[in-house]
């Protein structure tokens, strides 16, 4: 599976042997065989249809990941855009491993790949680990971020550090500290600093719990801004690293109102990403109770004003999927084969100098 392009590189996919329905990975062939039907797949949280064959967008590093299946297929990564790198197969590195769920993936330094994964073993034990793989596919390091849960991970080249989004894991109570939901680690897994306190978000259970209607957690780290999406309550948070000022927006009512116009209802939230300015972009699957018609609409919500704009909309077409924001433009995967970009000033899609994935 090779993506030939000078602007985006296919960096990873993960082999998942014997994965249960709950941990199911999706083969790229699933998308290739789609006609006009929507195929819904289960994830660990039942969060979303893996509408782009398990595609994951590393917004921080502008790298596209694929997580192919079914069990037995290996992952290939293209580090420099000029060819295929070695395959990554997590199963070969852990004896007794039964299931894998990849929570998050990011492109690390010097051709490495960092994978936040939940590992389930045949002896009924479950481990959450951050795995570092080299460019040749070898496991270099494994470490535990506990008590910090890992919902999203991002390596920042500007900081030469790893940022982890998730709950702090300390018991709650009247005397409990305001635990961080964002922490910074060295590339060796040493805690450097705690950043965003949990009090910045609503306290109603795990704010990063994924759901079919709300999507999955997203983290983007740049030199000037850190942005994340906490899906449980549809909360958007950004921190300006230059001024030290932060901004917060609950987009629940905004998304609900946007989704129900023209007689539609929200069925699912697919990929979510952030613009350079901190606005959030979501792909929404919209259905109607009266017929089998549906729409897939990409919406952009301004963090400053809450205003929502339609970026792109298709009807009864499961062949085009929003992936993320690439160099300020909207990135799409079409027919499981071609990448397209869309300028913020246009509704037209342009091929991204790419040949088909084959």
Average pLDDT for residues 242-253, to the nearest whole number?
A: 95
Top pLDDT among 303 and 54 is at 303
Among 226-230, 323-327, 354-358, where is mean pLDDT lowest?
354-358
pTM (global) more than 0.85: no
Which backbone phi and psi does 168 adopt, to 5 degrees? -75, -20
- What tens digit of pLDDT does each residue of 130-161 get? 999 888 889 999 999 888 899 999 999 999 99
Residue 329 sits in which domain range?
10-351
Among 46-60, 63-77, 208-222, where is mean pLDDT lowest?
63-77
CA 330 to CA 14: how far, in whole Å?
Answer: 25
CA 102 to CA 24: how far, in whole Å?
Answer: 10
User: What is the structure's pLDDT at 92?
Assistant: 85
334 occurs within a structural domain: yes
Residue 11 scores a pLDDT above 50: no
302 occurs within a structural domain: yes
User: What is the structure's pLDDT at 170?
Assistant: 52
- What tens digit of pLDDT does each residue of 104-139 get? 989 899 888 899 999 999 999 999 999 998 888 899
Among 12-26, 201-215, 259-273, where is mean pLDDT lowest?
12-26
203 occurs within a structural domain: yes
356 occurs within a structural domain: no
Q: How many domains does the chain have?
A: 1
209 occurs within a structural domain: yes
Residue 272 scores a pLDDT above 90: yes
Residue 234 scores a pLDDT above 90: yes
Residue 328 scores a pLDDT above 80: yes
Among 21-35, 152-166, 319-333, where is mean pLDDT lowest?
21-35
3-state SS, the chain, equals: CCCCCCCCCEEECCCCCCCCHHHCCCCHHHHHCCCCCCCCCCCCCCCCCCCCCCEEEECCCCEEEECCCCCCCCECCCCCCCCCCCCECHHHHCCCEEEEEEEEEEECHHHCEEEEEEEEECCCCEEEEEEEECCCCCEEEEECCCCCCCCEEEEECCCCEEEEECCCCCCCCCCCCCCECEEEECCCCCEEEECCEHHHCCCCCCCCCCECCCECCEEEECCCEEEEEEHHHCEEEEEECCCCCEEEEECHHHHHHHHCHHHCEEEEEEEEEECCCCCEEEEEEEECCCCCCEEEEEEEECCCCCCEEEEEEEECCCCEEEEEEECCEEEEEECCCEEEEECCCCCCEEECCCCCCC
User: What is the structure's pLDDT at 293?
Assistant: 77
CA 211 to CA 201: how far, in whole Å?
Answer: 17
CATH number for the domain including 82?
2.120.10
Q: Are 222 and 278 in contact (CB under 8 A)?
A: no
Confidence of residue 318 (pLDDT cuts 50, 70, 90): low
2 occurs within a structural domain: no
358 occurs within a structural domain: no
1 occurs within a structural domain: no
Confidence of residue 338 (pLDDT cuts 50, 70, 90): confident
- What tens digit of pLDDT does each residue of 275-308 get? 999 999 999 999 987 767 789 999 999 999 999 9
Q: Are 286 and 266 in contact (CB under 8 A)?
A: yes
């Amino acid at each position: 599976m090779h993506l030939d392009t000078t602007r985006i590189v296919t960096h990873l996919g993960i082999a998942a042997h014997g994965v249960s329905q709950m941990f199911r990975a999706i083969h790229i062939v699933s998308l290739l065989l789609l006609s006009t039907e929507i195929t819904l797949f289960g994830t660990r949280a039942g969060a979303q249809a893996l509408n782009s064959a398990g595609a994951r967008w590393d917004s921080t590093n502008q790298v596209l990941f694929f997580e192919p299946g079914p069990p037995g297929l290996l992952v290939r990564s293209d580090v420099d855009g000029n060819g295929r790198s070695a395959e990554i197969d997590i199963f070969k590195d852990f004896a007794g491993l039964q299931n894998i769920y990849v929570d998050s993936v990011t492109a690390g330094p010097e051709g490495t790949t960092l994978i936040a994964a939940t590992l389930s073993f045949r002896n009924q034990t479950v481990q959450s680990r951050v795995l570092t793989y080299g460019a040749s596919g070898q496991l270099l390091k494994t470490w535990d971020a506990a008590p910090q849960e890992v919902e999203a991970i991002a390596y920042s080249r500007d900081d030469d550090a790893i940022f982890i989004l998730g709950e702090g894991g300390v018991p709650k109570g009247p005397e409990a500290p305001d635990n961080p939901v964002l922490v910074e680690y060295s590339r060796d897994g040493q805690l450097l600093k705690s950043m965003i306190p949990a009090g910045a978000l609503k306290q109603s259970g795990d704010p990063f719990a994924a759901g079919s209607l709300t999507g999955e957690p997203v983290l983007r780290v740049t030199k000037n801004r850190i942005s994340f999406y906490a899906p449980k309550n549809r909360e958007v948070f950004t921190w300006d690293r230059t001024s030290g000022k932060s901004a917060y927006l609950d987009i629940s009512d905004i998304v609900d109102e946007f989704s129900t116009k023209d007689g539609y209802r929200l069925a699912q939230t697919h990929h979510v990403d952030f613009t350079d300015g901190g606005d959030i972009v979501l792909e929404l699957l919209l259905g109607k109770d009266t017929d089998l018609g549906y729409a897939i609409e990409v919406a952009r919500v301004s963090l400053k004003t809450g205003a929502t704009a339609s970026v792109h909309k298709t009807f009864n077409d499961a062949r085009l999927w929003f992936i993320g924001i690439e160099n300020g433009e909207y990135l799409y995967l079409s027919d499981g084969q071609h990448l397209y970009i869309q300028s913020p000033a246009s509704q037209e899609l342009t091929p991204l100098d790419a040949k088909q994935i084959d």
